[in-house]
């Protein structure tokens, strides 16, 4: 039995304590970004290759290939789909897109589509006709369709359309199709690009986010969103970095880039879309900025740093302009005016800037000049922002000048690390430093076996570690599991907090741990009987002061049950409390075939000055006591 008394003394819990780490690692295009068409603008592909046609297929006897257009729709989008119809064709011709490993068809959804098209060598007598845009199963069942009139012209035109699904698919293996009667277009060659189809989006935003994934994240009430990376910020080289200026403005002006996880990023999900969604989700950004180190191991030379920090060169915009885009005055600042023109005249909320990512891989140049060059210039321009350093792996931080106040720590390990490390922050001296556990996860079993999905043993070990975040939230201001999302059919890293398909979302056991700590974060931590990492039971007591509610979290990392007796410093007026528990047999995972193997359940208990609680093995419980 563990006897836990808690006092009314303690410290505030920062509102930023629990949030989300994000980068496009099978999670942006085809994930959070609601665009349903994969390879919609043939960005960053080599014309004439099969890869260039990823997700596209011909319908009927038309011939499709990706070409470098003789007259591109924009300098950013040089490629186009060439659609050639043999003379004498009479049957239906066209092409299909298979989406990101499927396209969801849901009854009642109104889809919004568009595409640019032109006829490079139009016939002397204009040809007019109608395309048919439809959603169909791979078996040919048409769910919905509409006609889109066209007239041949050598100049690019954009067609737009909508259609509404009247039934829901049985399988997600569906196609978007553009087709036309062969006799209308026989002998013609047409070009298409930026072929786009959106379902309804979160908050109804144009060029927005997928609803079910947004709702799944909203259910965690996350306080912050760290973006755009992670590795995907850094580029293989400086030229390949995430360059914010290429991700804003009209979609037709965004070139996309080869991301750092083995596939092309369209950058249709760009800086503005991120910031608008973060605001819609009641989060605040922790925005990482390129700090001159890329994944090939190269650092920008000291003499070149200012071109990335404050001096714009050959259309590359410096970090200073990025921050002006986010918080600048649209009436006086050019970058802020772009933000206003996109629909957000007021500044976005921004308090935290992270300088780089995992610079412990490049500590020398970070310490010698990269940290200082960015910090000194940006702090001078934006003194109200907090700047987070990234070159530490634990609370024993390296020395940097100027000395950072905020540090981002990353750790991926096994359950034993998190169980044994539950007091890693208790032992740190309180010297003004603030820590962001920006990435952490149980990534292997104790025997080193890899994990495709989180499992209950690792998730409860994470919970033990997170009780340490609650307890030390006087110096831990933020924490987020990583990575956040991955597509079940295209995965670069496992395990992930949430796994999704085109129409399903699987909440892992670690998702529920993150959710419970975030929902029951409270605003004040109450000190309680001290403990050590050597016991299987950990606890944390926080309070929602305005609600007069106390959250007694109990973690049991053993497979056997244990008993905890809480002694409160008061007698609660409500003698019945409600609790939530996540528990499962060792090895349990929520997977596509068993998505709900372990889900939280609620229970009630008798609340008094003492509360006895029998905590099952491998469990996280939150007992809510109302005064």
> Where on the chain is the footprint of ligand LXE (CB under 6 A)?
23, 229-231, 357-358, 410, 439, 482-483, 493
Q: Tell me whether residue 194 or residue 286 sits nearer to ligand LXE (CB atom).
A: 286
Which contiguous run of DSSP H or E holds residue 462?
Answer: helix 456-471
Q: Tell me whether residue 369 or residue 493 sits nearer to ligand LXE (CB atom).
A: 493
Q: Tell me whether residue 163 or residue 352 sits nearer to ligand LXE (CB atom).
A: 352
Do residues 404 and 375 lie in contact, with contact meaning Cβ atoms separated by under 8 Å?
Answer: yes
In the complex, the smallest distance separating the C-beta of residue 213 from ligand LXE, rounded to whole angstroms, is 18
Q: Tell me whether residue 197 or residue 411 sits nearer to ligand LXE (CB atom).
A: 411
In the complex, the smallest distance separating the C-beta of residue 364 from ligand LXE, rounded to whole angstroms, is 19
Q: Tell me whether residue 217 or residue 623 sits nearer to ligand LXE (CB atom).
A: 217
Q: Tell me whether residue 23 or residue 462 sits nearer to ligand LXE (CB atom).
A: 23
In the complex, the smallest distance separating the C-beta of residue 21 from ligand LXE, rounded to whole angstroms, is 7
Q: Tell me whether residue 13 or residue 295 sits nearer to ligand LXE (CB atom).
A: 295
Instruction: Report DSSP letters for 57-123, one per residue.
Output: EEETT-EEEEEE-SS-SBTTB-EEEEEE--TT--SEEEEEE-BTTB----TTPEEEEEEEEE-SS--
Angle at alpha carbon of residue 205, lines to 203 and 208, rounded to 5°: 105
In the complex, the smallest distance separating the C-beta of residue 332 from ligand LXE, rounded to whole angstroms, is 35
Distance of CA 308 to the CA centre of its chain: 25
**In whole angstroms, what is the distance from residue 295 CA to residue 307 CA?**
19
Nearest to 271 by CA among 259, 254, 293, 252: 254
DSSP symbol at 201: B
Residues 212-234 as b or e (16 or more Cβ within 10 Å = b): ebbebbeebebbbbbbbbbbbbb
What torsion do the CA atoms of 110, 283, 234, 198 make, to the nearest 10 degrees?
A: 0
Q: What's the Cα-to-Cα distance from 530 to each of 3, 569, 602, rounded to whole Å?
A: 10, 16, 27
SS3 at position 154: coil
In the complex, the smallest distance separating the C-beta of residue 98 from ligand LXE, rounded to whole angstroms, is 27
In the complex, the smallest distance separating the C-beta of residue 483 from ligand LXE, rounded to whole angstroms, is 4
**In whole angstroms, what is the distance from residue 625 CA to residue 235 CA?**
49
In the complex, the smallest distance separating the C-beta of residue 135 from ligand LXE, rounded to whole angstroms, is 34
**In whole angstroms, what is the distance from residue 480 CA to residue 498 CA?**
13
**In whole angstroms, what is the distance from residue 492 CA to residue 313 CA?**
34
Q: What's the Cα-to-Cα distance from 136 to each of 95, 104, 132, 500, 520, rounded to whole Å?
A: 12, 10, 12, 22, 44
Q: Tell me whether residue 457 or residue 496 sits nearer to ligand LXE (CB atom).
A: 496
Q: Tell me whether residue 143 or residue 227 sits nearer to ligand LXE (CB atom).
A: 227
In the complex, the smallest distance separating the C-beta of residue 410 from ligand LXE, rounded to whole angstroms, is 6
Cis peptide before 294 (omega within 30 of 0): no
**In whole angstroms, what is the distance from residue 77 CA to residue 67 CA?**
11
Residues 6+ apart with CB under 8 A from 92: 59, 60, 179, 180, 181, 182
Distance of CA 508 to the CA centre of its chain: 16
Angle at alpha carbon of residue 409, lines to 297 and 9, rounded to 5°: 170
Pairs from 68-72 (Cβ < 8 Å, separation ≥ 24): 69/120, 69/191, 69/193, 70/120, 71/118, 71/120, 71/154, 71/156
Q: Tell me whether residue 26 or residue 424 sits nearer to ligand LXE (CB atom).
A: 26
In the complex, the smallest distance separating the C-beta of residue 395 from ligand LXE, rounded to whole angstroms, is 19
Side-chain half-sphere CA neighbours of 425 within 13 A = 25
In the complex, the smallest distance separating the C-beta of residue 571 from ligand LXE, rounded to whole angstroms, is 46
In the complex, the smallest distance separating the C-beta of residue 408 from ligand LXE, rounded to whole angstroms, is 9
In this structure, the number of other CB atoms found within 10 A of the CB of residue 183 comes to 14
Distance of CA 237 to the CA centre of its chain: 23
In the complex, the smallest distance separating the C-beta of residue 71 from ligand LXE, rounded to whole angstroms, is 39
Q: Tell me whether residue 208 or residue 229 sits nearer to ligand LXE (CB atom).
A: 229
In the complex, the smallest distance separating the C-beta of residue 480 from ligand LXE, rounded to whole angstroms, is 10
Name the phi and psi angles at 389, rounded to 5.
Answer: -90, 155
Q: Which residue is nearest to ligand LXE (CB)?
A: 230
In the complex, the smallest distance separating the C-beta of residue 498 from ligand LXE, rounded to whole angstroms, is 14
In this structure, the number of other CB atoms found within 10 A of the CB of residue 519 comes to 15
Determine how β-strand 485-487 pairs with β-strand 476-479: unpaired
3-state helix, strand, coil in the chain (%, to 5): 20, 35, 45
Q: Tell me whether residue 382 or residue 412 sits nearer to ligand LXE (CB atom).
A: 412
In the complex, the smallest distance separating the C-beta of residue 511 from ligand LXE, rounded to whole angstroms, is 16
In the complex, the smallest distance separating the C-beta of residue 285 from ligand LXE, rounded to whole angstroms, is 17
Q: Tell me whether residue 284 or residue 358 sits nearer to ligand LXE (CB atom).
A: 358
Q: Tell me whether residue 289 or residue 624 sits nearer to ligand LXE (CB atom).
A: 289
Determine how β-strand 224-227 pairs with β-strand 257-258: unpaired
Do residues 308 and 298 lie in contact, with contact meaning Cβ atoms separated by under 8 Å?
Answer: no
Q: Tell me whether residue 118 or residue 410 sits nearer to ligand LXE (CB atom).
A: 410
Do residues 132 and 60 lie in contact, with contact meaning Cβ atoms separated by under 8 Å?
Answer: no
Q: Tell me whether residue 291 or residue 338 sits nearer to ligand LXE (CB atom).
A: 291
């Amino acid at each position: 039995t563990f006897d836990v008394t808690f006092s009314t003394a303690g410290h505030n819990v920062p509102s930023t304590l629990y949030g989300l780490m994000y980068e496009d690692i099978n999670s942006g295009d085809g994930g959070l970004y609601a665009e349903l068409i994969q390879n919609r603008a043939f960005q960053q592909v080599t014309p004439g290759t099969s890869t260039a046609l990823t997700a596209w297929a011909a319908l009927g006897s038309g011939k499709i290939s990706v070409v470098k257009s003789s007259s591109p729709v924009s300098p950013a989008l040089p490629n186009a789909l060439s659609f050639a119809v043999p003379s004498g064709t009479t049957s239906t011709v066209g092409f299909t897109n298979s989406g990101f490993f499927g396209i969801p068809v849901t009854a009642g959804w109104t889809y919004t589509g568009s595409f640019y098209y032109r006829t490079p060598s139009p016939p002397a007598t204009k040809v007019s006709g109608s395309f048919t845009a439809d959603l169909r199963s791979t078996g040919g069942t048409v769910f919905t369709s509409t006609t889109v009139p066209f007239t041949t012209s050598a100049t690019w035109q954009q067609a737009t359309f909508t259609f509404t699904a009247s039934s829901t698919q049985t399988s997600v293996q569906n196609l978007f199709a553009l087709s036309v009667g062969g006799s209308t277009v026989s002998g013609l060659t047409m070009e298409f690009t930026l072929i786009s189809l959106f379902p309804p989006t979160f908050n109804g935003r144009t060029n927005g986010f997928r609803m079910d994934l947004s709702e799944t994240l909203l259910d965690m009430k996350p306080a912050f969103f760290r973006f755009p990376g992670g590795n995907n910020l850094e580029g293989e080289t400086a030229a390949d970095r995430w360059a914010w200026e290429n991700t804003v403005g009209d979609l037709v002006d965004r070139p996309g880039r080869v991301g750092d996880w083995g596939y092309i990023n369209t950058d249709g999900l760009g800086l503005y879309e991120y910031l608008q969604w973060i605001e819609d989700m009641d989060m605040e950004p922790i925005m990482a900025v390129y700090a001159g180190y890329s994944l090939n191991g190269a650092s920008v030379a000291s003499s070149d740093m200012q071109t990335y920090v404050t001096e714009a060169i050959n259309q590359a915009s410096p970090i200073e302009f990025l921050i002006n885009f986010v918080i600048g005055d649209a009436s006086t600042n050019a970058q802020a005016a772009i933000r206003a023109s996109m629909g957000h005249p007021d500044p976005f909320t921004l308090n935290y800037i992270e300088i780089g990512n995992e610079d412990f891989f490049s500590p020398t140049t970070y310490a010698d000049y990269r940290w200082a060059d960015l910090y000194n210039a940006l702090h001078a321009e934006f003194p109200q922002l907090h700047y987070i350093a990234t070159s530490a792996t634990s609370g024993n931080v390296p020395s940097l000048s100027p000395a950072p106040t905020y540090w981002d720590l990353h750790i991926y390990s096994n359950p034993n690390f998190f169980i044994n490390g539950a007091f890693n922050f208790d032992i740190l001296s309180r010297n003004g430093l603030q820590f962001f556990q920006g990435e952490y996860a149980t990534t292997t079993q104790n025997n080193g076996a890899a994990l495709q999905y989180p499992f209950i043993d690792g998730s409860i070990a994470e919970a033990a570690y997170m009780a340490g975040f609650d307890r030390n939230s006087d110096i831990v201001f933020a924490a987020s599991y990583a990575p956040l999302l991955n597509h079940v059919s295209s995965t670069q890293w496992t395990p992930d907090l949430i796994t999704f398909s085109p129409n399903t979302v699987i909440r892992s056991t670690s998702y529920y741990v993150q959710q419970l700590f975030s929902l029951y974060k409270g605003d004040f931590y109450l000190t309680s009987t001290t403990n050590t990492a050597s016991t299987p039971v950990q606890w944390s007591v926080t309070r929602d002061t305005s609600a007069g509610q106390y959250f007694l979290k109990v973690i049991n990392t053993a497979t056997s049950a244990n008993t905890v007796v809480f002694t409160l410093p008061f007698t609660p007026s409500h003698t019945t409390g409600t609790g939530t528990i996540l528990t499962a047999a060792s090895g349990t995972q929520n997977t596509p075939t068993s998505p709900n193997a372990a889900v939280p359940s609620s229970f009630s208990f008798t609340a008094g000055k003492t509360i006895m609680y029998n905590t099952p093995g491998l469990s996280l419980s939150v007992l809510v006591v109302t005064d």
